[in-house]
Amino acid sequence: MAEKIYSCSFTGLLCRIIEVEADISNGMPSFSIVGLGDTSVQESKERVRLGIKNSGMEFPKTRKTINLAPAQVRKQGALFDLPIALSMLIESKQVPKEKFENSIIVGELSLTGKVNRIAGALLITQFAKEQGFEKIFLPADNALEASFIEGIEIIPIEDLKDIVEFASGKKEILPYKSANEDSDQNTCDFTFIDKIIGLEKAKRALTIGACGRHNILLHGSPGCGKTILCRAFKHLLPQMTKEEILETTKIYSVSGLLNADSPLVKSRPFREVHHTATMSSIIGGGNIPRPGEISLAHNGILFFDEIAEFNPTVLDSLRQPLEDKFINISRINLAIKFPSNFMFLATMNPCPCGFKTDKKIRCICTDSQIGNYQKRLSGPLLDRFDIFVEVEKSNIHEVLEKESQPKNPQKSSHPSFMENAEKMQKERFSKSSISRNGDMDIEDIKKYCELTQDAKDILNRASEKLNLSNRGYLKIIKISRTIADMDLKEKIETPHILEALQYRRTS
Amino acid sequence: MDKMWLGKTGEVIAEKFLIANNYKILQKNVYFREGELDIVAFEIITQEIVFVEVKTRSSNLFGEPEESVTHEKKIKTLKAAINFLNLAREIRHKSWRIDVIAVKLTREGKFLGIKHFKNILNG
């Protein structure tokens, strides 16, 4: 009689229940695992054999067959070690089965019998709960991460001996209860951006961007502070909601990027990518697709420093995910959808030498050089940036002098801006699926963005004069909505439109 | 204790075991370039040709005797069996199988136990 226990596998963000059955029959000694497992599944034979032996139990000597069902689904990863070992111990009557009814078992074994951390624990726990399982047995190292999901009993397993003693009633393992959630630390920290002196226009633009999640492109001469501004910017982002933490942590979980110290992604991700990055590292990919940088930046920021140095093909592959907020990765075996709702932040120089917009140093580039440089960013990609800011170099003497002075009291008004915008957006989008002004589509804009008559006139006049595209027109409205939110205004007024118009592309 | 002697003792025990279980011994120690056959027997009940690989062990330190039959050894035995069948016209039409007989002895060579694994290639 083959005994059956349940485990779980995942591809991308999609889980599937896997039945693990073991059969031990008389015959020549052999050990085979069937069910389309990859090399790490095949190698689990050795881990299971030594894990069982070194935990002081008997590894059956006869003919052993493990079946992972459904048979046609490819399975990968070492998370079947524990269920394979257990099903074998159950089949050889060394362990009673009763305690494993209605539960999912996952875990990787080490040769000593210790149960090692696995990737994707959060995802699996959530899926197990949705499927109506009562219990999940998982590595103790993953318990904290998994405890984010409520409504399922999480049983942390230290080593194989633990679970065997638990099953035979010799030892009690209490379901894991997460310690009270960490005090909500306010992630909005202005000290970093306040330390940067001058560059007020860029700071204002970044604040707007942070409030409404608008994509920003900064350009300016080398050394003017673009990169520093962007790095300081990550401290400006509003806190993540519980759903956002869950979504982002899931992606990190399947990528195996979580560890015991940081089991959850609690602050918004800030992914800085070097310009040598390949398409599949950014978009996601591989034989079995893994999330790329755009998905790792989900609910956070994707930062491209020196965007003009990136491979143009890579940049253009961002067009679709920027618009759709998800990416579909298709491979011959399967297609996987990863969310990629990020804010895109980039910096660039205006020309190869970098000084085209500088007031003091003369640019030495020829017109064709400048043209070629700017052509590296395609029009459609540029069109997806909402805010364009030219960063002007601030005077270094000023910077050094100001440093010694007490902090400018006027700066403290920033946080209230952000709180206002947070509050307004929360109220506005409480019933809809989006959460930020930057995510609004045309229907939402019609519904939520009411302009005063004056503002409407100005916008229409401007759009005629400046030949705004339709997308550009909507973009101005979205940005002005955010600016109005920062002022706690229900209707968008003239100053908001005028400020938003400043941030469009000038060329 | 001598390895050769160990092997021979095992084979003798296996032979007696087979005869006691209604087998007829056709030939012993058949060598080919591809491999060898310890015992070729004929099972009277099932009317099958049986090629037997005998494994003898005098200690359990390295596991049971049957565990030391590797995949390569199985293939070698199979090749030798096919060779044998090609040469022996009168039995070519009969069904056949490959068995392993594992013999366990003490260090001093006393008989401890015997196990018979039938049809190891697809059973």
Give me the CATH number covering residue A253.
Answer: 3.40.50.300
Which of A25, A26, A28 is the best residue to mutate to test the B interface, defined by the most B CB atoms within 10 Å of its own CB?
A28
**Interface residues of chain A, partner chain B, Cβ below 8 Å:** 27-29, 61
A179 within domain boundaries: no
User: Does one domain contain both A249 and A108?
Assistant: no
Alpha carbons A468 and A478: distance in angstroms, whole number: 14
Using one digit for the tens of pLDDT, what is the confidence trace for A148-177? Answer: 888 899 999 999 998 999 998 888 888 888
How far from A86 is each of A5, A58, A158, A499, CA to CA, in Å? Answer: 8, 12, 14, 65
Two structure tokens written together for B46: 């099932």
Q: Which residues, 6+ apart, have CB-to-CB distance to A190 below 8 Å? A: A235, A236, A411, A412, A414, A415
Average pLDDT of A133-160?
90
User: Contact A28/B64, CB-based, under 8 Å?
Assistant: no
B53 within domain boundaries: yes
User: Does one domain contain both A392 and A451?
Assistant: no
Q: Where in the sequence is the domain holding A192, given as residue range(s)? A: 184-405
Q: What is the pLDDT of residue A184?
A: 52
Split into its structural domains, chain A has a count of: 3
User: Contact B64/A27, CB-based, under 8 Å?
Assistant: no
B64 within domain boundaries: no
Q: What is the pLDDT of residue A183?
A: 47
User: Does one domain contain both A222 and A338?
Assistant: yes
Tell which residue, A488, A485, A483, A487, has the closest CA to residue A499. A483
Alpha carbons A58 and A49: distance in angstroms, whole number: 9
CATH number at residue A457: 1.10.8
**Exposed/middle/buried for A320, CB within 10 Å: 0-12, 13-18, 19+?**
middle
Residues of A in contact with B120 (CB under 8 A): 27-28
Split into its structural domains, chain B has a count of: 1
Alpha carbons A351 and A376: distance in angstroms, whole number: 11
Tell which residue, A149, A113, A382, has the closest CA to residue A249. A149
pLDDT at A109 over 50: yes
User: Does one domain contain both A316 and A277?
Assistant: yes
Chain B: closest CA distance from residue A28 (Å): 6
Two structure tokens written together for A101: 């009814």
Q: Work out the mean pLDDT of chain A and round it to a whole number.
A: 86
Q: Which chain A residue shows the shortest CA-CA distance from B120?
A: A28
B32 within domain boundaries: yes
Using one digit for the tens of pLDDT, what is the confidence trace for A178-234? Answer: 765 554 555 566 666 677 777 788 888 888 888 888 999 998 888 888 888 888 887
Amino acid at A438: G
- How much of chain B is helix, strand and coil, in % rounded to 5? 35, 35, 30
Greater model confidence, A469 or B87:
B87
CATH number at residue B39: 3.40.1350.10
User: Does one domain contain both A80 and A195?
Assistant: no
A466 within domain boundaries: yes
Chain B: closest CA distance from residue A59 (Å): 12
User: Contact A29/B120, CB-based, under 8 Å?
Assistant: no
- Other Cβ atoms within 10 Å of A359 Cβ, number: 8
CB A111 within 8 A of CB A79: no
Chain A: closest CA distance from residue B122 (Å): 11
User: Does one domain contain both A43 and A106?
Assistant: yes
User: Does one domain contain both A246 and A314?
Assistant: yes
Q: How many residues does chain A have?
A: 507
Domain boundary among A373, A390, A405: A405
Alpha carbons A464 and A462: distance in angstroms, whole number: 5
User: Does one domain contain both A387 and A431?
Assistant: no
Q: What is the pLDDT of residue A415?
A: 67
Residues of A in contact with B63 (CB under 8 A): 61
Question: How do B36-43 and A14-25 pair as beta strands?
Answer: unpaired
Residues of B in contact with A49 (CB under 8 A): none
CATH number at residue A151: 3.30.230.10
Confidence of residue A403 (pLDDT cuts 50, 70, 90): low
Average pLDDT of B20-44?
93
Confidence of residue A103 (pLDDT cuts 50, 70, 90): very high
Chain B: closest CA distance from residue A61 (Å): 8
Identify the bridge partners of residue A472 per DSSP, sorted by sequence position: none
Q: Which chain B residue shows the shortest CA-CA distance from A25?
A: B123
CB A21 within 8 A of CB A67: yes
| DSSP 3-state of A253 | helix
Using one digit for the tens of pLDDT, what is the confidence trace for A9-46? Answer: 988 888 999 999 999 988 778 899 999 889 999 999 99
- Other Cβ atoms within 10 Å of B74 Cβ, number: 17
CB A192 within 8 A of CB A235: yes
Domain boundary among A337, A370, A405: A405
Residues of A in contact with B64 (CB under 8 A): 29, 61
The residue behind tokens 């400018």 is A408
B97 within domain boundaries: yes
Q: Where in the sequence is the domain holding B22, given as residue range(s)? A: 3-59+72-117
**Which DSSP helix (H) or strand (E) runs through A135?**
strand A135-139
What strand order describes the sheet that includes B23-31?
Answer: B23-31, B36-43, B48-57, B96-105, B111-117
Tell which residue, B32, B120, B28, has the closest CA to residue A27. B120
pLDDT at B64 over 80: yes
Q: CA angle at residue A303 from A301 to A308, to 5 degrees?
A: 150
Average pLDDT of A319-324?
89
Residues of B in contact with A29 (CB under 8 A): 64, 66-67
Using one digit for the tens of pLDDT, what is the confidence trace for A349-361? Answer: 988 888 888 888 8
Tell which residue, A15, A20, A9, A92, has the closest CA to residue A58. A92
- Other Cβ atoms within 10 Å of B20 Cβ, number: 8
Average pLDDT of A280-290?
87
B100 within domain boundaries: yes
User: Does one domain contain both A393 and A436?
Assistant: no
The residue behind tokens 């209230």 is A416
Tell which residue, A268, A235, A276, A237, has the closest CA to residue A251. A268
The residue behind tokens 């009673």 is A96
Alpha carbons B45 and B24: distance in angstroms, whole number: 11
Alpha carbons B103 and B93: distance in angstroms, whole number: 31
Identify the bridge partners of residue A273 per DSSP, sorted by sequence position: A304
Residues of A in contact with B100 (CB under 8 A): 28
Q: Is B22 left (phi over 0), alpha (psi -120 to 50) or beta?
A: left
User: Does one domain contain both A198 and A251?
Assistant: yes
Phi and psi angles of residue A346, each rounded to the nearest 5 degrees, phi first: -145, 155
User: Does one domain contain both A230 and A360?
Assistant: yes
pLDDT at A418 over 60: yes
A277 within domain boundaries: yes
User: Does one domain contain both A99 and A210?
Assistant: no
Domain boundary among A167, A198, A218: A167
Identify the bridge partners of residue A116 per DSSP, sorted by sequence position: A108
Q: Which chain A residue shows the shortest CA-CA distance from B101?
A: A28
H runs (alpha helix) in A74-148: 81-91, 121-130, 143-146
Q: What is the pLDDT of residue B110?
A: 87
Chain B: closest CA distance from residue A27 (Å): 6
| DSSP 3-state of A56 | coil
User: Contact B120/A28, CB-based, under 8 Å?
Assistant: yes
Average pLDDT of B72-98?
89
